[in-house]
Amino acid sequence: MTIRFSILFLSIFAISFTAQSAEPLLGEGKEEKTDSCLFREGEDGYDLWLRYARVENESLLKLYRERLKKITLNPSTPTLQAVKSELLIALDGMLAIEPEFIDSGYQSSGVVIGLPEKFPDINVHVSKEELNLLGNEGFIIRETKDKSLIVTANTDIGLLYGVFRLLNTIQQEQALSEINIIEAPKTKIRILNHWDNLDRNVERGYAGFSLWDWFRLPDVIHQRYIDYARANASIGINGTVLTNVNANAQILTPVYLEKVAALADAFRPYGLKVYLTARFSAPIDLGKLPVADPLDPQVQEWWNKKVEEIYTYVPDFGGFLVKANSEGQPGPQDYKRSHAEGANMLADAVAPHGGIVMWRAFVYDQNVPEDRTKQAYNEFKPLDGVFRDNVIVQVKNGPLDFQPREPFHPLFGALEESNLMMEFQITQEYLGFSTHLVYLAPLFEECLQADTHAKGQGTTVAKSIDGSLHGQKLTGIAGVSNIGTDRNWTGHPFGQANWYAFGRMAWDPYLASERIADEWIKMTFTKDPAFVKPVTEMMLNSREACVNYMTPLGLHHIMARGHHHGPGPWVSGGRPDWTALYYHRANTDSIGFNRTSSGSNATGQYFKPVAEIFDDINTCPEEYLLWFHRVPWDYKMKSGNTLWNEMALHYQKGVEDVRNMQKTWNFMESFIDKERFMYVKSLLQIQEREAVWWRNSCLLYFQTFSNMPLPEGVEESYKPLEFYLKINEIYMPGHH
């Protein structure tokens, strides 16, 4: 594997930083052939979807080798040096060749990678109109009439994305003949939010500690940082927020900005821009000012100077992510100012440098409202059109807090004059942490394809965040990262699929979950259909299984207090909207939160006819029934069952679905490496046990109100309710 180490040296030397780590490059490992696939002995998941396993189709292998033996590429910039490095790694792994690179000159029947301005012959095969469609990040991959294969774009970053797309095509063993791909991202900001603290603990992180080794930065640039950037670039992620939204102002001090600059330098060749969280009280915490009032001239001047200082360290600094006046965080409302006044003050500071401000709409304060799900809409809708052009309001997918299932947030479609971006959670705070296999693309897709009816039928959530609904220019999707120092990056091997799916759907919010799963499986495990088909089906069903064994029929926020691991429908005491009772409101008559026009009227925040559908118990989708309605235990469901029986059967089905996942996985042993197979098998055992825990706890508890027997087919609990009430897991990973 000498070539891989020479590639590593070439890449790092050219980009001018030093790697001091024992981490191997993605794709490193000993290969071992089995009857059904090619995998490396002792794989641990570090390679992610960039394994670059050997192409097995002999006819395609021959064609690939012939096509890619000569590549025209002028590695004149750090990004193009990264492109060359990636090609060497990938083609060594997939084709066992080291291509000949030519710096200049268009070659027929070869591969040409470059900008039209550097290779004028490309203009014969690509029109100006097509190039105009690409923007700064899009690309074209095309076989020409003279049988050359061109990868072109308007920028080096576009070329990088195009090469990753080409390698993705080879990984899936798709033909290159007559290939014609024109792609550009549909959103501008595609960003990971790391909830990482400066002590390297990660809030809601279930895959080890923070990647950022602040103690050894800026001197030590781990190879893992480079591989992190490569993985993100391969799926089109172009930004990373390094620090927790519950921000620490110390990140804005020179000692830390020097460290941030080192990470930014490492990420820059891969198109990955660095952002930071801004603690709103930083002028007090660091500047010793008496206030942080956004309308105070001294405060404005402090932020202007601080921003100028940041840009001296990181010239392409992306800007700030801000959590303000929520869960005890300081903000403009401390001074009777609006969210817009706070956001605009920071936006004015970063605007001269091209920076942006992502202002989170996840807000609730010390005053418990009548319905917490209404608060973001109530606070932000009146501010529509008041935010600066470089402010983008970051809204969670649902109106509560990353539950296994929520209706889409009513702000989607409602903010017509303000920039709006999605916030998804990739880490599984409420979905079993990194011990449960829950493929999140169906959740993302369910939200993105929900119809807001903001401008009639077909105005989906996706259209409200890609700018096609109201014409916003600044668009984006954020994902709360599930990445940590675990060798496999995400704790659960299938957690990698959620990182991958987020990147793919941030690039194109209209992609289907099934297609993404198929891609990921083929690149991560094997292309054998006997593995791909059943595992794809298992993944696609996994999120619904989780909903069933946790929160069926619109139940929500019934997890244990604080760490949110395991069931806690009995949680009470303290702040009401931090309890389960606030949300399910069960008594001997009924269960559910009345958010209809006769209750909190949260349904009124949606456009017609969505509001009318949710408001009427007869038309409300049953998956949201208890979210919007208070329902008697003996209410007759569409199936003919009573609500109680339907709920119990859903809990049972969730358990059975996990058991079916176990059966599916047990048949996969011969297709992949033993290490990953056994690890997933062990995690599925935990998931089955915890699904039973959820089912038993919730049904025993709610049965004290319904006073109804379990229906036929639902297993009885082997422990009494008192047993589950006593479970108190204090030391959980990611505990906030």
Task: With CA atoms as reference, report the closest residue to 183 among 212, 160, 204, 206.
Answer: 160
3-state secondary structure 338-378: CHHHHHHHHHHHHHHHCCEEEEECCCCCCCCCCCHHHHHHH
Grade residue 364 by pLDDT with cuts at 50, 70 and 90.
confident
Q: What is the pLDDT of residues 608-630, one digit of tens each?
A: 999 999 999 999 999 999 999 99
The pLDDT assigned to 40 comes to 58
Long-range pairs for 714-718 at CB < 8 Å and ≥24 separation?
714/648, 714/649, 714/651, 714/652, 715/652, 715/655
- Cα 333–Cα 335–Cα 337 angle in degrees, nearest 5: 55
Comparing 368 with 687, the larger pLDDT belongs to 687
**Class of 189-524 per CATH?**
alpha beta
Name the catalytic one among 28, 173, 401, 577. 401
Q: Distance between alpha carbon 576 and the CA centroid of its chain, in Å?
A: 30
Q: How far is residue 160's CA from residue 102's CA, in Å, rounded to a whole number?
A: 17
Active-site residue among 23, 296, 327, 365?
327
Closest CA to 569 of 703, 389, 444: 703
Active site residue 537: no
Strand locations in 626-669, DSSP E?
Answer: 631-632
CATH of 52-183, one of 3.40.50.620, 3.30.379.10, 3.40.50.970, 3.30.420.10: 3.30.379.10
**Omega into 493 within 30° of 0, i.e. cis?**
no
Q: Give the mean pLDDT of 294-316.
A: 98
pLDDT confidence of residue 647: 98
Share of the chain above pLDDT 90, in %: 89
Q: How many CB atoms lie within 10 A of CB 721?
A: 16
> Residue 267 is encoded by which pair of tokens?
């990420």
Burial of 108 (0-12, 13-18, 19+ CB in 10 A): exposed
Q: Is residue 9 predicted with pLDDT exceeding 60? A: no
pLDDT in tens, 128-156: 999 999 999 999 999 998 889 999 999 99
> Whole-model pTM?
0.95
Q: 22-77: per-residue pLDDT in tens?
A: 344 554 444 444 433 455 556 999 999 999 999 999 999 999 999 999 999 999 99
Count of Cβ atoms closer than 10 Å to residue 254 Cβ:
11
Say yes or no to pLDDT of 602 above 90.
yes
Given this model, what pLDDT does residue 370 score?
A: 82
- What per-residue confidence (pLDDT) applies to 365? 75
CA 475 – CA 392 distance, rounded (Å): 7
Q: How many Cα atoms occupy the beta-carbon half-sphere of 302 within 13 Å?
A: 22
- Count CB-CB contacts under 10 A for residue 686: 14
Helix (H) or strand (E) holding 31: strand 31-33
CA dihedral 114, 116, 122, 126 (to 10 degrees): 120
401 is catalytic: yes
Structure tokens at 186: 């549909």
For residue 39, what pLDDT is reported? Answer: 53
Whether 14 has a pLDDT exceeding 70, the answer reads no
**Per-residue model confidence (pLDDT) at position 106:** 72
Lowest mean pLDDT among 19-28, 341-350, 526-535: 19-28
Would strands 189-193 and 239-241 be described as parallel, antiparallel, or unpaired? parallel
Look at residue 17 in the predicted model and tell me its pLDDT.
Answer: 37
Q: Is the pLDDT of residue 110 over 90?
A: no
Least confident of 17-21, 232-236, 539-543: 17-21
Burial class (CB in 10 A: 0-12, 13-18, 19+), 456: exposed
Own/partner pairs for 614-623, CB < 8 Å, 24+ apart?
A: 614/407, 622/553, 622/554, 622/646, 623/405, 623/547, 623/553, 623/554
Q: Which 3 state secondary structure label does DSSP give 326?
A: coil
Q: What is the pLDDT of residue 495?
A: 98
Q: What is the pLDDT of residues 476-517, one digit of tens each?
A: 999 999 999 999 999 999 999 999 999 999 999 999 999 999
CA distance 256 to 218: 9
Residue type, 692: V
Phi, psi of 264 (to 5 degrees): -60, -40
**The residue type at 320:** F
Q: Which helix (H) or strand (E) holds 540?
A: helix 529-550
What would the mean pLDDT of 313-318 be, rounded to a whole number?
98
**d(C-alpha 82, C-alpha 422), whole Å:** 30
- Among residues 341, 429, 528, 690, which one is catalytic? 429
Examine the pLDDT at 335 and tell me if it is beyond 60.
yes
User: What pLDDT was estimated at residue 3?
Assistant: 34
Query: What residue ranges do the domains of the chain occupy?
Result: 52-183, 189-524, 548-593+630-725
| Architecture of domain 548-593+630-725 in this structure | Alpha-Beta Complex (3.90)
The position carrying tokens 């103690």 is 215
Residue 429 designated active-site? yes
67 contacts 180 by C-beta, under 8 angstroms? no
Task: Return mean pLDDT, the chain.
Answer: 93
Per-residue exposure over 38-54, b if at least 16 CB sit within 10 Å of its own CB, e if not: bbbeebebbbbbbbbbb
- Helix, strand, or coil here: 456? strand
User: Which of the pair, 731 or 387, is modelled with greater confidence?
Assistant: 387
Q: Which residue has the tokens 């991959």?
A: 141
Instruction: Answer yes or no: is pLDDT of 1 > 60.
Output: no
Contact 461, 412 (CB under 8 A): yes
